[in-house]
Structure 1
Amino acid sequence: MYKSKFILPKGCEYNGQCLKRNETVSEQCKIQRCDERNNLVGIYTVETGCPFFNGRCLNTGEFAVDKCRLYHCQAELVNGEVWFTAKEKAVMCEDVHGECHGAGMKMTLRSKYGQNINCTCIVNGLTVGYQC
């Protein structure tokens, strides 16, 4: 009689799941892979980014616009941990058609009574206003 041995491939445990080597998982703009490095098999982060609107992720250093607001994906060290955040960098005014206009530009807005009115875009830091 002899004992049989089962040779199992190395893998990683991730949230109660068994991942095969080179298998990736993504969660909130972070992609992690089960990998072997220096003879150690584990979960390693291979890509990170910033959560953005509608489930979209921005790569570090990437800029994106949402509703006339410009955002920049940045990595910051907070209490010894790296956090990825889409920081608001600039704003513009949005007209009745959803188009963006810079400070001092004339544009059309809709009044609370449903009438189109001509206004000028006013920007103060990251705050927009209108002079009509």
Structure 2
Amino acid sequence: MKLAQVSSPVRTVFHGAGQFLAIALYFAAIAGIIHYSVAAHNVASEASLIELSQLILLAASVFTFRRIAHVHCAYNSAASLMSAFFLVLMIRELDATLDMVFHGFGKSRRSPSRHSLFGQQPKTGVKRLRVWQESSHLNSLPY
């Protein structure tokens, strides 16, 4: 017995309804996670359900853009850049977990600390800026 083929407009409607249902379930899941976390008073901790779902969504974004980069050669550069961006965001969100390895694990060793920038040496930066402004070619521009 051969099944009748569904016409193209009906197939299009069912495809659109399926996509709508998937997106609606996605948003309902996010709303449910937020509602559960707020009701359980577990919003501010690093081990909350919101943080876990955020990491899952970031990981899904990384893998999705990596897949796009491998499948579509035309979008390789852009998809790789977006994948790297979401990977950096994911690493930044894992700072509490990486601090278990040692404190400040995710921070660069070469970057100056916040204390030295804003606490002890504000005058040297201003002096350097003034020296640069006085010696630069900006003074000769006609504006």
Same fold (TM > 0.5): no
Instruction: Judging by fraction of residues, say which structure has more strand.
Output: 1
Instruction: Judging by fraction of residues, say which structure has more helix.
Output: 2
TM-score by length of 2: 0.21
TM-score by length of 1: 0.22
